[in-house]
Amino acid sequence: MAEKFTVGVLTSGGDAPGMNAAIRAVVRTALANNMNVIGVTHGYEGLINGEFHEMGARDVGGILQRGGTILLTSRSKRFMESAGQRDAIRKMNEAGMDALIVIGGEGSMNGAHALSKKGVKVIGIPASIDNDIYGTHIAIGADTAMNTIMDAVDKLRDTASSHSRAFLIETMGRNSGYLAVMTGIACGAEVVLIPEAPITIDEIAAAVEDAYKRGKTHAIIVNAEGSGIRTTDLAVKIDEMDVGFTTRMTILGHIQRGGSPTAYDRLLASRFGVKAVEALVEGTHGVMTGLRGKGVDFTSLEDVITNKHRINLEYYHMAKVLAR
Ligand code: F6P
């Protein structure tokens, strides 16, 4: 009798709300297709170390609504080297793993591509609050992070208005302004700083002073982590420049990565998980699932890692217009 097809699943890089929903969808869809599922803990580090356990339908019960990742994660330096990748492939072969599903961000897709080039059947599922992965309109976790930011900014605006203050709020996004610009629109920010559209401190100060002169009771400045201007420095400078408002700042930090995923992220993760296993059933691999328009389709891992996800700068201009 032929051996059952065995698929491994891991989460890698920064965790993102909705990763658990994706794991659940992978496990249950694989079981429905008569496959074995092996959970790999601690991402690529665990793949090298052989941290494997078989997963059944009950192992993924009650996780749909949980943030983080039940499979745990890591940013593996060893896996960036060819030797680490070879060790991982040896461990996969020993365990009888026929294919691997990698849930993670840009770095994780680089790892997935490296495995694919070495002959492993790999499918990627994009998950990153930064939403900076080519091949998908949106990645798992970004919607939840935006809602977390929105909740925080709404609260900060209450106190900002009460004291006539300018509030600097730093969002995550090492190389991407997605979270900053989208929440800037959703929260009515006066100024948004993103890596994709550099702006000077003088221009920021002028925009804040202008908001004051137009009678605004507060100014919200959303600064993406990777904008090139440090929030702490900007807060001191704006305060010194006498723009009408006094200044305070809040760095939201890792709170943006946690929490129960939104309905949107649960649905997206479920769709990606199902589609990833269906790809294997059809004999497709070396690709990443992604949302394009309303449908889920695939982009080759080669294209994913050689292209950049660019945010639509129309959103940046929209944020400016709506800040009047
Ligand atoms: O998950 C992506 C991200 O949140 C980036 O926006 C941020 O720069 C980075 O992870 C922080 O990573 P770590 O948790 O390893 O400090």
Q: The domain that contains 44 carries what CATH number? A: 3.40.50.450
Query: For ligand 1, what atom is nearest to the CA of residue 172?
Result: 6
What are 165's strand-pairing partners? Answer: 246
Residues 22, 80: one domain?
A: yes
19 CB-near residues (< 8 Å, 6+ apart): 11, 68, 69, 71, 103, 127, 140, 141, 269
| Residue 39 shares a structural domain with residue 131 | yes
Task: Say if 240 falls within a structural domain.
Answer: yes
Indicate whether 242 and 279 sit together in one domain: no
The verdict on residue 316 lying in a domain is no
Q: Report the alpha-carbon angle 297-103-75, nearest 5.
A: 140
Looking at per-residue pLDDT, the higher value among 293 and 59 belongs to 59
- In this prediction, residue 317 carries a pLDDT of 97
What residues form DSSP beta bridges with 46?
none
> Could you tell me which residues are beta bridge partners of residue 99?
7, 121
Which residue has the CA at smallest separation from atom 13 of ligand 1?
14
- Domain for residue 284, yes or no? yes
> Tokens 């994913």 map to which residue?
304
Render 184-244 in DSSP notation, one character per residue: HHHHT-SEEEBTTB---HHHHHHHHHHHHHTT-S-EEEEEETTSSS-HHHHHHHHHHTT-S
CA 21 to chain CA mean position, Å? 14
- What's residue 268's pLDDT? 98
pLDDT-based confidence at 287, cuts 50/70/90? very high
Residue 226 shares a structural domain with residue 104: no
Whether 91 and 156 map to the same domain: the answer is no
Pocket of ligand 1 (CB under 6 A): 14, 75, 128-130, 172-174, 225, 257
Q: How far is the CA of 303 from the centre of ligand 1 (A)?
A: 23
Percent of the chain with pLDDT over 70: 99
Task: Tell whether 136 and 10 lie within a shared domain.
Answer: yes
Instruction: Examine the domain organization and report whether 136 and 282 are in the same domain.
Output: yes
Q: Do residue 117 and residue 204 come from a single domain?
A: no
- Give the count of domains, the chain: 2
The label of the residue with tokens 């550099």 reads 198
Write down the catalytic residue from 98, 130, 132, 265: 130
**What is the residue-wise DSSP string for 228-283?**
SS-HHHHHHHHHHTT-SSEEEEEE-GGGGG-SPPPHHHHHHHHHHHHHHHHHHHHT
Q: How far is the CA of 57 from the centre of ligand 1 (A)?
A: 31
Q: Same domain for 155 and 240? A: yes
Chosen domain end from 238, 257, 276: 257
Pocket test for ligand 1, best of 76, 172, 176 (most atoms within 8 A of CB): 172
> How does pLDDT run across 169-181, given as a tens digit for each residue?
999 999 999 999 9
Within-domain flag for 312: no
CATH code of the domain covering residue 227: 3.40.50.460
User: Is 130 a known active-site residue?
Assistant: yes
Q: Which of 132, 174, 309 to mutate to test the pocket of ligand 1 (most atoms within 8 A of CB)?
A: 174
Starting at the edge strand found earlier in the chain, the sheet holding 99-104 runs 52-54, 36-40, 6-12, 99-104, 121-126, 287-292, 295-300
* pLDDT at residue 235, rounded to an integer: 95
State yes or no: pLDDT of 1 exceeds 60.
Answer: no
Instruction: Report if residue 297 sits inside a domain.
Output: yes
Atom of ligand 1 nearest to the CA of 179: 6
CA-closest residue to ligand 1 atom 12? 14
Q: Report, as an integer, the average pLDDT of 202-215.
A: 96
Model pLDDT for residues 63-95, shown as the tens digit of each residue: 999 999 999 999 999 999 999 999 999 999 999
- Residue at 311 is within a domain: no
pLDDT per residue over 21-50, tens digit each? 999 999 999 999 999 999 999 999 999 999
| pLDDT at residue 3, as a whole number | 85
Per-residue pLDDT of 107-149, as tens digits, reads: 999 999 999 999 999 999 999 999 999 999 999 999 999 999 9
pLDDT one-digit tens code per residue, 233-250: 999 999 999 999 999 999
* Residues 211-239: tens digit of each pLDDT: 999 999 999 999 999 999 999 999 999 99
Same domain, 107 and 177: no
Q: Are residues 276 and 231 both part of a single domain? A: no
To which H or E segment does residue 100 belong?
strand 99-104
Atom of ligand 1 nearest to the CA of 256: 4
Whether 12 and 101 share a structural domain: yes
Band (2; pLDDT cuts 50, 70, 90): low
In a domain, residue 202? The reply is: yes
Mutate to test the pocket of ligand 1, among 74, 132, 257 (most ligand atoms within 8 A of CB): 257
Average pLDDT, the chain: 97
Tell the residue number behind the tokens 């702006």, with chain if given.
199
Query: Residue 201 — pLDDT band, cuts 50, 70, 90?
Result: very high
Give the residue, by CA position, lying nearest to ligand 1 atom 6: 173
Which atom belonging to ligand 1 lies closest to the Cα atom of 128? Answer: 1
- The CA distance from 175 to 152, in Å, is 22
Q: Domain residues for 38?
A: 6-141+261-306
Q: Atom of ligand 1 at shortest distance to CA of 16?
A: 1
pLDDT over threshold 90, residue 294: no
3-class secondary-structure state, position 297 = strand
Residue 237 located in a structural domain: yes
